[in-house]
Structure 1
């Protein structure tokens, strides 16, 4: 943190200067510290930095310098910006209600909004740390590939997203990234113990692997999508955790059938993360992923099972499936925690069950 802080200046005209790729992570820290000024815009500051408005010099965020920020107070909402562009009440009602800034990209579900390009331009005005706006569609195929369209800005879909001290390199046109899982990613880094042996099934670009490895856990990370796997390897290096991550580009079932030799003489693990929403689906007389996962779990180990569950079945369905798979192997289940992470689709919730398998 720099000590180069101007004095004698009204706090509501201050801004901290940070490198552009760090902008969203710093904004999150400033919001947590209660000093982010939402009434003013993030603005460019030179070629590689932005000035983030603050109400007072922050005590927790690192930055290059504190500067006086000039200019008019920003229009606070997307509605304000669209009205300035002449949108009617009916058109504004169809505008997006939420979006997320991922690195240098704004990711938004455009829905039935008219003139998506104008929405994109407004979002870029609101978020000076971003240079591209992507309209997000669905996720398709077994590789969970996103359907996105550039609607404004430079069109660069490759970025580095930073949150809770972890850097995620990714290409949002090729791999998925769920902003709604932010708290869950952070939580996984908080609950693991140093030297825990963890199996991260469906690891993606390292959503859960990276915070767990950063906390000291030893992680076997399995991902089948070749593009996501490349980012997984890159991100392990980017975060300095390659010595604690053993990555496999493979089907989880093949890795489990071959034995977890990455842990040497210990063929079982202390903790398993199943982050794929459909991994608990029954397969014939058993469960394609739950069965081998439970077999690989140390007695007393913990599973973190994600599922897209109809609201009326939450949390009964995932718990029943875990108990059924465990019972077939003569094991018992203690449910430790259940959480709704976010809405998945209409009437369907993304839920997580933490369970100890004895």
Structure 2
């Protein structure tokens, strides 16, 4: 090693890890406090990446510690786009945010010029990523995403690790909202061991997995066949087979089992429209006013807690979901005690994703 201080400053440490576990390693290094976020993750070999660190890690597994020699890497998307000849006006139209989910970068491309160049710049910025997907929205009864590969090898299947929970998914087939990260973690924190939980709209296990890892017994219901396949895979991936009971069904068809046996201590309603007044439905009793809230209350034990998600216009935030919950409970001759309200994120312009936590007597 040279004794020249300026040369030593350009020799920075990196931990070499296998590509498939790069996201897990990054989160572990962040937890240790040795991840260097001033530099980019770079490809090291065909099957590994070099993750920048400030000191050799003590708790994170790695193949070897190496020195990255050379100039300080570009840090921002703007820097990478300027290097590609973009003007300030064009950069103003570039994406301002994106999410790295395992080996996939998910980005709202908007009206950005030259999307493929944006994709290539994001791959340069995130050396652990292999595919960049432009997200165009969610539609249909099964909440299926519309995406487009704009850079990389095009593989949309990945495993994303978040607060120790592993989510296998195909981002071209199932939705995953990066903005719900804190809410997913919170559900794992508030549940008690051995609680009996009904997750009415489980998806790939967004809330089911953190709760099961915390010791709850979760009945997870999902009717989308693709999401259900990943739900089952994720239950095994996280080692919670004994605590999760997955059903591919309409949640309203599973609820009678709770009414006949032990009711749930906690019900999670993660579908934005679950609190809406009932549409015409031949299976619903004539006097029912709400399509899913009635089922949730039927499944919930006295004194149990309900977590109701809703997409609410800003002027109605918290008032509308609380009024709907109270109306449904009143029809069932039950009382509601609101425990907490939270704004999770902006769902769309003028509409917020909110959650109401309530105890139902």
TM-score under structure 2 length normalisation: 0.91
Q: What's the CA shift string for 1:91-126, capped at 9, x where partnerless?
A: 111100000001100000000001000000000000
2:258 counterpart residue number: 260
Partner of residue 282, structure 1: 277
Alignment of 1:204-223 (within 5 A): 204-223=203-222
Indicate conservation of the 8 Å contact 1:301/1:357, yes or no: yes
For residue 358 of structure 2, the aligned residue among 315, 340, 355 is 355
Q: Residue 60 of structure 1: CA displacement?
A: 5.1
Structure 1 equivalent of residue 310 of structure 2: 307
**Cα distance in 1 between the residues matched to 2:9 and 2:21:** 25
Partner Cα distance (1:205, 1:73) in 2: 39
Indicate whether 1:110 and 2:98 are aligned.
no
CA contact (8 A) 2:11 2:69 kept: no
- Deviation string, structure 1 residues 255-288 (Cα, Å, up to 9, x no partner): 113x139xxx743100011101111001165111
2:300 is aligned to 297
Q: How many angstroms does 1:32 deviate by?
A: 4.8
CA distance in 1, matches of 2:240, 2:129: 28
Paired with 1:76 and 1:150, the residues of 2 have a C-alpha distance of 23
Query: Any stretches of 5+ residues in structure 2 without a counterpart?
Result: 1-7, 280-287
Deviations 1:24-73 (A, max 9, x none): 23323434554322222101232322111122234554434332222321
C-alpha contact (below 8 Å) 2:197/2:219 kept by paired residues = yes
Residue in structure 1 matched with residue 333 of structure 2 by the alignment: 330
**1:314 to partner: Cα distance:** 1.1
Contact in 2 for aligned 1:181/1:341 (Cα 8 Å): yes
In 2, Cα distance between equivalents of 1:236 and 1:11: 44
**Which position in structure 2 is the counterpart of 1:69?**
68
State the Cα RMSD in Å: 1.8
What is the distance in 1 between the residues matched to 2:186 and 2:192?
12
- Aligned match of 2:19: 20
Instruction: Give unmatched runs, 5+ long, in structure 1.
Output: 1-8
State whether residues 318 and 341 of structure 2, in contact with CA within 8 Å, keep that contact through their aligned partners in structure 1.
yes
Q: Contact (CA 8 Å) 1:136, 1:149: kept in 2 or not?
A: yes
Match of 1:94 in 2: 93
Q: Is residue 11–residue 70 contact of structure 2 (8 Å, CA) maintained in 1?
A: no
Helix, strand or coil for the counterpart of 1:69? Answer: strand
